[in-house]
C-alpha cells in the first residue's frame, strides 16, 4: 500500500488549497521520508460544505445500513493491518508488532458501535396527564475530531465510528506528527460504504487547521484528544465561537499502588508493559508506582527484569523483531532528556537514565526510585519510557500520593484484600481505576475518560453514541 499524502475531501484525495506541504521525519532514522499536504482554513470551509451535504441522507438511513458500513470498516482495517502497521512505524515509531496488536481489537470495537446503533432507544412518558411524551436523539450534523499522534488508528476509530453511528458527518484533523494512517483510513471509509463527505480527513497544524475547526460556526460538536494545554484552548475556542459541545480526552500521570499481599510478580510485569508500550507514549501509562516499603526490593527486582525483557530488542520500529522503538520526534526526545536530567539530580537511577547513542530518537527505558513527590518527574506528564517507583508505609499515605496531582485519567491498585481494593477504588480521584490490572485494551463497553485536568466527558461504553447526539423532548397532547 502506498502512503496517501493528500487530504481526503468528499471521498477524494485532494490537494490542499495553498499547495503547501510539510515533511515527515522517520523517528527510527531521524531522516525525512515523505511530504504531506498542509490543510488550512480554506480546506476546512470546503470540507464543511461537503459534510453539510452528506449527513442528512446518511442520518435517514436504516440503522442496519449504518451498522453494516461500520462492521465493514473494521474488516478493512484488519485486512490492511500489515501495511498500516508499517506506515505507522515509519511515521511515528510505534513498533509494527504493537500496531498490529492494537488493530486486532478493532473489529470488536466496530461490532460494538454497530450494535449500539442497531439497538438505540428513545424514551416515552405518560406521566403528564393527557400526554404521550417522547424523546428524539438527533445528530449534531457537522462535527469534528482532533487527534493526537500516539494512537492515530485507534483514536480515529473511537471518534469517527460513534459520530457516524449517531448520524453525523465528521471532519478529522490528524496530528502533524502522524498524518499518514488517518489519510489511509479516510480512503478506506469509502470502500466500507460510507458516502463521500461523511468522514473527511485533513492533515496540518493545530494553530491553523485545528483552530479553524474549533472556531467554526457550523461545527456543533468537537471531540479532542491530546494534551491538557491544548484541550484548554479547544474549550476556549468553543466558547468564543458557537459554544459547540466539547469532549476532551487529555493527559495523565497514572499512579499504581502495590500492597504487600499483592501478586507482586504480576504487578511488576503489567507495570512494565504499561510504561513501555509505544515507548511510553500512552496516556494511561503507569508512570508513578507506589510500592509498600516491605516489598520494595522484591518489586524492583521483578520490575527491572520485566523492563529488560520487554525492551530486549531496541531498533527500527518497522523491524518485526523490535520490541522498543523510538520516541515520536526530536521535540519529544529532547523533552524527555530534560526530565532524565531532573531524575538524575533528584532521585536514584535504577535503570537507564539517558538517551541512546544511535541514529533516530531512542531513549533507554528508565526507572528512578526515591524521587521527592515535589519533583517535576513525579508531577508532570513525561510521555516517555520513564517511571518513578517510590515507597509508602500506610494506605492513607499511598492514596494521598496517588491523588496529589491535577491529572485523573487512570489509577491502579494491586492487593488480594477485596475490601481494601474496593475502598481504594472509591477513593482514587480518577476517571478509570484498575483493580489488579493496568488499563485493559479491549474494554469498549466501559466508558473511557478522565477526572480533573485529564478531561471532560467520555468516549466508549454503552453511551458512546449519546455523546454525539442531542436530545429533543417532544410533548404530545392526546
- As annotated, the active-site residues are 249
Cβ-based nearer residue to ligand NAD, 33 or 205? 205
Q: Grid coordinates representing 115?
A: 450494535
SS3 149: coil
Stretch that binds ligand NAD, among 105-113, 248-256, 356-364, 366-374 (CB under 6 A): 248-256
Site residues for ligand NAD, window 250-309 (CB under 6 A)? 250-252, 283
Report the nearest approach of ligand NAD to the CB of residue 457 (Å): 11
As beta bridge partners, residue 474 has: 134
Stretch that binds ligand NAD, among 47-55, 134-142, 210-218, 420-428 (CB under 6 A): 210-218
Cβ-based nearer residue to ligand NAD, 225 or 318? 225
DSSP assignment of 359-421 equals SS--B--EEEES--TTSHHHHS---SSEEEEEEESSHHHHHHHHH-SS--SEEEEE-S-HHHH
Q: Which string of b and e fits 297-319 if b means at least 16 CB within 10 Å?
A: eebbebbbebbeebbeebbbbbe
User: What are the angstrom distances between the C-alpha of 378 and each of 31, 257, 352, 359, 386?
Assistant: 33, 14, 17, 29, 10
Report the nearest approach of ligand NAD to the CB of residue 410 (Å): 9
Residue 418 neighbours by CB distance under 10 Å: 9
If binding is defined by CB under 6 A, does position 211 make contact with ligand NAD?
Answer: yes
Cβ-based nearer residue to ligand NAD, 278 or 369? 278
Site residues for ligand NAD, window 444-473 (CB under 6 A)? 450, 455
If binding is defined by CB under 6 A, does position 176 make contact with ligand NAD?
Answer: yes
Report the nearest approach of ligand NAD to the CB of residue 297 (Å): 31
Grid cell 520516541 is found at 327
Q: Grid coordinates representing 171?
A: 471532519
If binding is defined by CB under 6 A, does position 233 make contact with ligand NAD?
Answer: yes
If binding is defined by CB under 6 A, does position 180 make contact with ligand NAD?
Answer: no
Q: How far apart are CA 39 and CA 202, in angstroms?
A: 6
Residue 38: closest CA among 230, 175, 214, 191: 175
Q: Of these, 14, 86, 95, 150, which contacts ligand NAD (CB under 6 A)?
A: 150
Cβ-based nearer residue to ligand NAD, 146 or 317? 146
Residues near ligand NAD, by CB under 6 A: 146-151, 173, 175-176, 205-207, 210-211, 214, 225-227, 230, 233-234, 249-252, 283, 381, 383, 409, 450, 455
Amino acid at each position: 500500500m502506498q502512503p496517501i499524502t493528500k487530504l481526503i475531501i468528499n471521498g477524494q484525495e485532494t490537494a490542499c488549497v495553498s499547495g503547501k506541504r510539510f515533511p515527515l521525519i522517520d523517528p527510527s532514522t531521524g531522516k525525512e521520508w515523505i511530504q504531506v499536504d498542509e490543510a488550512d482554513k480554506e480546506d476546512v470551509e470546503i470540507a464543511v460544505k461537503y459534510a453539510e451535504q452528506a449527513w442528512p441522507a446518511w442520518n435517514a438511513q436504516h440503522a442496519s445500513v449504518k451498522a453494516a458500513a461500520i462492521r465493514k470498516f473494521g474488516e478493512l482495517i484488519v485486512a490492511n493491518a500489515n501495511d498500516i502497521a508499517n506506515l505507522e512505524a515509519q511515521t511515528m515509531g510505534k513498533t509494527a508488532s504493537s500496531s498490529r496488536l492494537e488493530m486486532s481489537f478493532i473489529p470488536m470495537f466496530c461490532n460494538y458501535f454497530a450494535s449500539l446503533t442497531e439497538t438505540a432507544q428513545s424514551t416515552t412518558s405518560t406521566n403528564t396527564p393527557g400526554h404521550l411524551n417522547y424523546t428524539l436523539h438527533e445528530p449534531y450534523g457537522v462535527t469534528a475530531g482532533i487527534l493526537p499522534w500516539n494512537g492515530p488508528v485507534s483514536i480515529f476509530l473511537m471518534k469517527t465510528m460513534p459520530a457516524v453511528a449517531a448520524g453525523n458527518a465528521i471532519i478529522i484533523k490528524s496530528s502533524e506528527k502522524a498524518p499518514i494512517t488517518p489519510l489511509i483510513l479516510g480512503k478506506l471509509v469509502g470502500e466500507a460504504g460510507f458516502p463521500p463527505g461523511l468522514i473527511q480527513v485533513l492533515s496540518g497544524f493545530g494553530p491553523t487547521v485545528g483552530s479553524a475547526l474549533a472556531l467554526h460556526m457550523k461545527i456543533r460538536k468537537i471531540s479532542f484528544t491530546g494534551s491538557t494545554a491544548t484541550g484548554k484552548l479547544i474549550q476556549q475556542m468553543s466558547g468564543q465561537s458557537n459554544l459547540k459541545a466539547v469532549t476532551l480526552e487529555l493527559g495523565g500521570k497514572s499512579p499504581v499502588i502495590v500492597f504487600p499481599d499483592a501478586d507482586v510478580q504480576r504487578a511488576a510485569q503489567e507495570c512494565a508493559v504499561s510504561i513501555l508500550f509505544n515507548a511510553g507514549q500512552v496516556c494511561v501509562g503507569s508512570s508513578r508506582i507506589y510500592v509498600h516499603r516491605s516489598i520494595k526490593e522484591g518489586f524492583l527486582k521483578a520490575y527491572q527484569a520485566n523492563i529488560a525483557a520487554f525492551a530486549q530488542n531496541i531498533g527500527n520500529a518497522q523491524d518485526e523483531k523490535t520490541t522498543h522503538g523510538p520516541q515520536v520526534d526530536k521535540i519529544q526526545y529532547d523533552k524527555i532528556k530534560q526530565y532524565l536530567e531532573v531524575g538524575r539530580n533528584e532521585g536514584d537511577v535504577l535503570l537507564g537514565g539517558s538517551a541512546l547513542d544511535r541514529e533516530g530518537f531512542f531513549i533507554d527505558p528508565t526507572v528512578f526510585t526515591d524521587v521527592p513527590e515535589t519533583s517535576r518527574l513525579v508531577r508532570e506528564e513525561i510521555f516517555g519510557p520513564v517511571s518513578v517507583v517510590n515507597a509508602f508505609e500506610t494506605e492513607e499515605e499511598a492514596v494521598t500520593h496517588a491523588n496529589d496531582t491535577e491529572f485523573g485519567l487512570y489509577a491502579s491498585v494491586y492487593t488480594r484484600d477485596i475490601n481494601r481494593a474496593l475502598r481504594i477504588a472509591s477513593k482514587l480521584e480518577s476517571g478509570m481505576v484498575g483493580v489488579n490490572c493496568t488499563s485493559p485494551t479491549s474494554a469498549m463497553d466501559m466508558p473511557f475518560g478522565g477526572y480533573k485536568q485529564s478531561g471532560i466527558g467520555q468516549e466508549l461504553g454503552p453511551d458512546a453514541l449519546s455523546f454525539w447526539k442531542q436530545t429533543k423532548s417532544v410533548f404530545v397532547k392526546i
